[in-house]
Every structure is written in structure tokens, then in C-alpha cells.
């Protein structure tokens, strides 16, 4: 289902994840130059480096190593393909919600909080899941997380709307 959504958003956004690569490189380069001026704040390159570091962890590196060892070098092709397709969903989803729910002056802060939430969740979940897996077994940890995810999905679908005026 996620791959289908990724294809849909890739086509709908006219391949935004490929089309804007030049703009991304330009902004990263500008950020590196501007940061030498001593300006306060986070440069584009600094934000990119922080976001990349928060997404690439030991689990991801181990997963890639395992995929290559089992699937061979062609596993890299499939990982890149899925990453490119998934990046369209990652671009569209938070921007749609932020544009609908936040005034223009607060959107940058909202996007920053959204981007910080993923790594924070990973930092909290890691030790909790490790504890459950060590003391109660990985099956219990899997079941608990599946139930929490299912309940959260049901609650979110009932509470969240695309339009703030129709929010309960």
C-alpha cells in the first residue's frame, strides 16, 4: 500500500524527488557558504546533516548489510528504488498537513517539530523495545507495538481531518 501511495505521489508531484535535486544541491551549497558568516541559526547544510544522521542509525546499516548479503548486489537497486518512491510520500504528507493547519508565519516551526519527532520517537522507542524484548521476548514486544500502532491508527483516523474547520 505504501509503495502504491509512493508511486501515486511521485506521478502527482511530477517526480519532485528527482526534479528538485539541483535545487537541493544549490541550497546545501548556499548553506555552507552562509554559515561561515557567523549568522545565528541553522544552515541548510546543517539541517540536512542533522536529519540524515538522525535517520541513518545502526539498525539501518545492519539492515542494508543483511539485505546485500542475502539478496546480493541487486538488493541495492531495489533499496534505492523504494527510497526514491518513498521520498515522494515523505515530501507530500507533512507539507499537506502543515499547509492546512498552520498559519504561514508558523509553518517553519511546525515542519521543524514534525522533522524532530521521528528521531525523538526512535530514541525513546529503542530502549523501551529493547527492554520488552530482553525481559519478555521479542514476540511480546512485537505484539505490544502492533496493538499500540493499531489503536493509534484508529484514534488518528477518527480525530484528524484535512480541514481544521471540520475538526471535532
Residues 47-83, buried b or exposed e (16+ Cβ, 10 A)? bbeeeeeeeeeeeeeeeeeeeeeeeeeeeeeeeeeee
Alpha-carbon span 119 to 100, nearest angstrom: 24
Per-residue pLDDT tens digits of the chain, which is 168 residues long: 778 888 888 888 888 888 888 887 777 776 555 545 555 566 667 667 766 666 666 556 677 777 888 888 888 888 888 888 887 877 777 777 788 888 888 888 777 776 666 666 666 777 787 788 888 887 888 888 888 888 988 887 787 777 777 766
Nearest Cα neighbor of 118 from 31, 63, 53 is 53
Contact in structure between 162 and 100 (CB atoms under 8 Å):
yes
Residue 128's pLDDT is what? 80
Dihedral over alpha carbons 76, 82, 87, 92 (to 10 degrees): 180
| CB-count burial class (<10 Å; 0-12, 13-18, 19+) for 134 | exposed
Amino acid at each position: 500500500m505504501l509503495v502504491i501511495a509512493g508511486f501515486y505521489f511521485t506521478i502527482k508531484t511530477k517526480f519532485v524527488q528527482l526534479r528538485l535535486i539541483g535545487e537541493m544541491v544549490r541550497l546545501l551549497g548556499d548553506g555552507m557558504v552562509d554559515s561561515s558568516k557567523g549568522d545565528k541559526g541553522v544552515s541548510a547544510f546543517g539541517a540536512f546533516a542533522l536529519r540524515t544522521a538522525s535517520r541513518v542509525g545502526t539498525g539501518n546499516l545492519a539492515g542494508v548489510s543483511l539485505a546485500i548479503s542475502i539478496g546480493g548486489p541487486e538488493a541495492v537497486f531495489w533499496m534505492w528504488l523504494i527510497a526514491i518512491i518513498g521520498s515522494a510520500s515523505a515530501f507530500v504528507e507533512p507539507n499537506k498537513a502543515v499547509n492546512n493547519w498552520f498559519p504561514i508565519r508558523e509553518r517553519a516551526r511546525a515542519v521543524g517539530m514534525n522533522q524532530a519527532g521521528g528521531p525523538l520517537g526512535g530514541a525513546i522507542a529503542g530502549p523501551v523495545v529493547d527492554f520488552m524484548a530482553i525481559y519478555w521476548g521479542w514476540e511480546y514486544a512485537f505484539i505490544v507495538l502492533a496493538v499500540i500502532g493499531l489503536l493509534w491508527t484508529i484514534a488518528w483516523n477518527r480525530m484528524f481531518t484535512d480541514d481544521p474547520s471540520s475538526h471535532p
